[in-house]
Protein backbone atom coordinates (compact mmCIF):
# COMPACT_ATOMS: atom_id res chain seq x y z
CA UNK A 1 0.00 0.00 0.00
CA UNK A 2 1.34 3.45 -1.01
CA UNK A 3 2.00 5.89 1.75
CA UNK A 4 0.37 9.31 1.95
CA UNK A 5 3.74 10.93 1.28
CA UNK A 6 4.15 8.93 -1.98
CA UNK A 7 0.66 9.93 -3.16
CA UNK A 8 1.26 13.64 -2.51
CA UNK A 9 4.64 13.40 -4.26
CA UNK A 10 2.92 11.78 -7.30
CA UNK A 11 0.23 14.45 -7.32
CA UNK A 12 2.85 17.16 -7.13
CA UNK A 13 4.85 15.64 -10.03
CA UNK A 14 1.69 15.23 -12.13
CA UNK A 15 0.62 18.83 -11.47
CA UNK A 16 4.14 20.08 -12.42
CA UNK A 17 4.01 18.05 -15.64
CA UNK A 18 0.56 19.45 -16.42
CA UNK A 19 1.78 23.01 -15.74
CA UNK A 20 4.84 22.46 -17.93
CA UNK A 21 2.65 21.18 -20.79
CA UNK A 22 0.37 24.19 -20.49
CA UNK A 23 3.36 26.53 -20.78
CA UNK A 24 4.65 24.68 -23.84
CA UNK A 25 1.35 24.68 -25.70
CA UNK A 26 1.52 26.54 -28.96
CA UNK A 27 -1.36 28.84 -29.46
CA UNK A 28 -3.03 28.28 -32.81
CA UNK A 29 -3.54 31.71 -34.31
CA UNK A 30 -5.61 32.02 -37.45
CA UNK A 31 -3.63 34.53 -39.45
CA UNK A 32 -5.52 36.11 -42.34
CA UNK A 33 -4.49 34.57 -45.66
CA UNK A 34 -4.72 35.90 -49.19
CA UNK A 35 -5.21 33.45 -52.04
CA UNK A 36 -3.13 34.47 -55.05
CA UNK A 37 -2.69 33.22 -58.60
CA UNK A 38 1.03 33.29 -59.38
CA UNK A 39 2.25 33.60 -62.95
CA UNK A 40 5.38 34.35 -64.91
CA UNK A 41 5.77 37.19 -67.35
CA UNK A 42 9.01 38.14 -69.13
CA UNK A 43 10.99 35.92 -66.75
CA UNK A 44 9.67 37.44 -63.51
CA UNK A 45 7.07 36.18 -61.03
CA UNK A 46 3.83 38.09 -60.48
CA UNK A 47 0.50 37.42 -58.80
CA UNK A 48 -3.08 38.65 -58.73
CA UNK A 49 -5.37 38.19 -55.75
CA UNK A 50 -7.38 35.03 -56.35
CA UNK A 51 -10.67 36.89 -55.87
CA UNK A 52 -9.93 38.79 -59.11
CA UNK A 53 -9.16 35.77 -61.31
CA UNK A 54 -12.28 34.16 -62.76
CA UNK A 55 -10.71 31.62 -65.09
CA UNK A 56 -7.40 30.49 -66.60
CA UNK A 57 -7.63 29.98 -70.36
CA UNK A 58 -5.13 28.73 -72.93
CA UNK A 59 -4.50 31.53 -75.37
CA UNK A 60 -6.86 31.22 -78.25
CA UNK A 61 -7.06 33.15 -81.47
CA UNK A 62 -7.34 36.82 -80.57
CA UNK A 63 -9.17 39.03 -83.04
CA UNK A 64 -7.42 42.39 -83.27
CA UNK A 65 -9.43 45.60 -82.96
CA UNK A 66 -8.28 48.40 -85.27
CA UNK A 67 -7.69 51.76 -83.61
CA UNK A 68 -7.31 50.49 -80.04
CA UNK A 69 -4.35 51.30 -77.80
CA UNK A 70 -1.35 48.98 -78.15
CA UNK A 71 -1.98 47.47 -74.70
CA UNK A 72 -5.25 45.94 -75.97
CA UNK A 73 -4.43 42.85 -78.02
CA UNK A 74 -7.98 42.24 -79.20
CA UNK A 75 -11.03 40.13 -78.43
CA UNK A 76 -11.69 36.47 -77.64
CA UNK A 77 -14.95 34.58 -77.33
CA UNK A 78 -15.41 32.65 -74.07
CA UNK A 79 -18.53 30.44 -74.13
CA UNK A 80 -20.40 32.95 -76.27
CA UNK A 81 -19.21 36.05 -74.35
CA UNK A 82 -16.89 38.53 -76.03
CA UNK A 83 -13.95 39.47 -73.80
CA UNK A 84 -11.13 41.94 -74.42
CA UNK A 85 -7.54 40.83 -73.88
CA UNK A 86 -4.88 43.21 -72.59
CA UNK A 87 -1.13 42.77 -72.88
CA UNK A 88 0.13 43.03 -69.30
CA UNK A 89 3.72 43.15 -70.52
CA UNK A 90 3.07 46.38 -72.44
CA UNK A 91 1.27 47.95 -69.48
CA UNK A 92 4.19 47.11 -67.17
CA UNK A 93 6.71 48.13 -69.88
CA UNK A 94 8.33 44.68 -69.93
CA UNK A 95 10.28 43.17 -72.84
CA UNK A 96 8.09 41.42 -75.40
CA UNK A 97 7.76 37.63 -75.16
CA UNK A 98 6.59 36.92 -78.69
CA UNK A 99 6.51 33.41 -80.09
CA UNK A 100 5.99 31.62 -76.79
CA UNK A 101 2.82 29.85 -75.79
CA UNK A 102 0.83 32.06 -73.45
CA UNK A 103 -2.27 32.00 -71.33
CA UNK A 104 -5.09 34.41 -70.59
CA UNK A 105 -6.33 35.07 -67.08
CA UNK A 106 -9.96 36.11 -67.28
CA UNK A 107 -10.10 38.64 -64.48
CA UNK A 108 -12.49 41.16 -62.95
CA UNK A 109 -12.09 44.16 -60.70
CA UNK A 110 -15.02 46.37 -59.84
CA UNK A 111 -17.18 46.60 -62.94
CA UNK A 112 -14.37 45.83 -65.41
CA UNK A 113 -13.82 42.34 -66.76
CA UNK A 114 -11.11 41.42 -69.26
CA UNK A 115 -8.57 38.83 -70.24
CA UNK A 116 -4.96 39.46 -69.23
CA UNK A 117 -2.23 37.81 -71.30
CA UNK A 118 0.55 36.14 -69.29
CA UNK A 119 3.35 33.68 -70.12
CA UNK A 120 2.65 30.81 -67.71
CA UNK A 121 0.50 30.09 -64.65
CA UNK A 122 2.85 28.94 -61.90
CA UNK A 123 0.69 28.21 -58.84
CA UNK A 124 -2.33 29.11 -56.75
CA UNK A 125 -1.33 29.56 -53.11
CA UNK A 126 -2.46 31.03 -49.80
CA UNK A 127 -0.09 33.73 -48.54
CA UNK A 128 -0.20 35.02 -44.95
CA UNK A 129 -1.10 38.74 -44.93
CA UNK A 130 1.96 39.43 -42.77
CA UNK A 131 4.23 37.97 -45.49
CA UNK A 132 3.11 40.58 -48.03
CA UNK A 133 5.53 43.50 -47.84
CA UNK A 134 5.33 46.96 -49.35
CA UNK A 135 6.81 47.39 -52.80
CA UNK A 136 10.50 48.32 -52.62
CA UNK A 137 11.50 51.79 -53.74
CA UNK A 138 13.99 50.21 -56.15
CA UNK A 139 11.22 48.97 -58.45
CA UNK A 140 11.11 50.48 -61.91
CA UNK A 141 8.68 53.40 -61.97
CA UNK A 142 6.78 51.77 -64.87
CA UNK A 143 5.80 48.90 -62.59
CA UNK A 144 5.72 50.53 -59.13
CA UNK A 145 2.35 52.26 -59.63
CA UNK A 146 0.67 48.88 -60.28
CA UNK A 147 2.23 46.99 -57.35
CA UNK A 148 0.18 46.15 -54.27
CA UNK A 149 3.09 44.40 -52.51
CA UNK A 150 5.72 41.69 -52.68
CA UNK A 151 6.19 38.33 -51.03
CA UNK A 152 8.55 35.39 -51.26
CA UNK A 153 7.48 31.94 -52.41
CA UNK A 154 9.88 28.99 -52.71
CA UNK A 155 12.85 31.35 -52.59
CA UNK A 156 11.55 33.57 -55.41
CA UNK A 157 10.35 37.13 -55.12
CA UNK A 158 6.75 37.53 -56.31
CA UNK A 159 5.23 40.91 -57.15
CA UNK A 160 1.55 41.25 -56.21
CA UNK A 161 -0.23 43.44 -58.76
CA UNK A 162 -3.25 45.69 -58.27
CA UNK A 163 -5.68 44.72 -61.03
CA UNK A 164 -7.90 47.77 -60.48
CA UNK A 165 -4.97 50.11 -61.23
CA UNK A 166 -4.04 48.06 -64.30
CA UNK A 167 -7.60 48.26 -65.68
CA UNK A 168 -7.68 52.01 -64.91
CA UNK A 169 -4.50 52.41 -66.99
CA UNK A 170 -6.08 50.50 -69.90
CA UNK A 171 -9.20 52.69 -69.70
CA UNK A 172 -7.06 55.85 -69.73
CA UNK A 173 -5.02 54.69 -72.76
Tell me if 73 is assigned to some domain.
yes
User: Given a cut of 90, is residue 137 above it in pLDDT?
Assistant: no
Tell me if 15 is assigned to some domain.
no
Query: Which pLDDT band, with edges at 50, 70 and 90, does 102 fall under?
Result: confident
Tens-digit pLDDT profile for residues 14-34: 777 777 666 665 555 678 999
Domain count, the chain: 1
Containing structural domain, residue 88: 33-172
Please compute, for residue 26, the number of CA atoms within 13 A of its CA located in the half-sphere on the CB side. Answer: 3
Q: Which of 94, 92, 109, 91 is nearest to 50 (CA)?
A: 109
Alpha-helical (H) ranges within 92-130 are none
51 neighbors 148 (Cβ within 8 angstroms): no
Which pLDDT score is estimated for 31? 83
85 neighbors 62 (Cβ within 8 angstroms): yes
Tell me if 9 is assigned to some domain.
no
What integer is the mean pLDDT of 74-94? 91
Indicate which CATH number applies to the domain containing 108.
2.40.50.180
User: Given a cut of 80, is residue 11 above it in pLDDT?
Assistant: no
Tell me if 89 is assigned to some domain.
yes
Tens-digit pLDDT profile for residues 48-73: 999 999 999 987 788 998 998 989 99
What integer is the mean pLDDT of 89-102? 78
Judged on CB neighbours under 10 Å (0-12, 13-18, 19+), 42 is: middle
User: Given a cut of 70, is residue 40 above it in pLDDT?
Assistant: yes
What integer is the mean pLDDT of 86-110? 85
Which pLDDT score is estimated for 172? 85
Percent of the chain with pLDDT over 90: 54
Alpha-helical (H) ranges within 32-161 are 88-91, 141-144
Report the C-alpha gap between 83 and 107 in whole angstroms: 10
**97-102 contact pairs (CB < 8 A, 24+):** 97/41, 97/42, 101/58, 101/59, 102/59
Amino acid sequence: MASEQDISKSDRILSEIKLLRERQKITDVDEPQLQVVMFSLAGDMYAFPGRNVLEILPREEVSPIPGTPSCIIGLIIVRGDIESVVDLGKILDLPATEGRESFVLLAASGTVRSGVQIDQVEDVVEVPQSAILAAPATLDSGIREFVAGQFEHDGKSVTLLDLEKIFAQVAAA
